[in-house]
Amino acid sequence: MDEADVRNLLRTVEDPDLGEDIVSLGIVNDISVDDDTAQISLVLGAPYAPHETEIANRVREVLGSEGLDAELSARVDSQHSPEEQVLPGVKNIIAVASGKGGVGKSTVAVNLAAGLSKLGARVGLFDADVYGPNVPRMVAADQRPQATEEGKLVPPEKFGVKLMSMAFLVGEDDPVIWRGPMVHKVLTQLWEDVEWGQLDYMVVDLPPGTGDTQLTLLQSVPVTGAVIVTTPQQVALDDAQKGLQMFGKHETPVLGIAENMSSFVCPDCGGEHDIFGHGGGAAFAEEQDMPFLGGVPLDPDVRTGGDEGTPIVLDEDSETGDAFRILTENVANNVGIINRRRQQQE
């Protein structure tokens, strides 16, 4: 069996998201055949995303049915030359944003990062909320970054996630007062002067709104896509619209809308209460023709986990943990879609 035969076999493997076979979509980079082994490079850039895992498993299955062992590798060509890459070891940068404060954006960012790590990915979490950095508390990270001989910071790890936050660099009770140029300088230094290493995903927790930090991020690093966090409340949805417009102006894909505090189940009576309304995030996503990543209920255990430093996504017995795990998988799948579509257009 030669390369042409293998390519024909791969035409029977369909992309579950894009709806065509992986050869026609340009998802096959290279094929080589050596005896009973086929070495195949695929455009799969979202490690541990369920749908990309499904594609890889289907390739192995199809080739295995013809007596071939499949040795698979993944490669997505970068949009930038090595000289232009600020974070060359980071495959995907996911910005977590919200139009307003108080919607649980940091909670989503922390659980997303921990959830991706739980899937097996190499993950970094950058707390870019310079005005109110609270990610270290939410993961009970009391270890400070170490420094190399070259003066670079080595981020501490928690739950398999590499962490960096302004909270590590300022006093716990010190007020943080930054003007625009200062924000740009400190964020740029944190990206460039940290030993992030090789990461499948970097989750960036942005401050609420559409200010200097967001602009610095979008102008400095290649953001793969953004997650917009909202509650079902109309006020939050109005502000989420501004976030969408900001990312649209910078041609940054939006991975989807996450609805936090979507409902509250009373632990005493079992009744479900829509404290902030119901279904607003899903309706907003449909109206904007954006993916809906999932709804996370208003659960006291989320607050407890945040205060005690244990993300609820790691709790296998929690229904709210299930909601975060579904959200995490949807984000990873949508990262894969963006990468595969970009390759298809090149």
**Numbered residues of the known binding site:** 99-106
Distance of CA 34 to the CA centre of its chain: 37
- Do residues 343 and 42 make contact, with C-beta atoms less than 8 angstroms apart? no
Binding annotation for ATP: 99-106
Structure-token match 């200097």, residue found = 212
Determine the straight-line distance between the first and last CA of the chain, rounded to whole angstroms: 30
| Beta carbons within 8 Å of 53's beta carbon, 6+ residues apart | none
Amino acid at 95: A
Residue 341, burial from CB neighbour count under 10 angstroms (0-12, 13-18, 19+): middle
Q: Which residues pair with 199 in a beta bridge?
A: 90
- Do residues 108 and 116 make contact, with C-beta atoms less than 8 angstroms apart? no
CA distance to 3, 10, 58, 185, 332, per residue, from 45 (Å): 23, 18, 17, 30, 10
The pair of structure tokens assigned to 302 is 């989320």
285: helix, strand or coil = helix
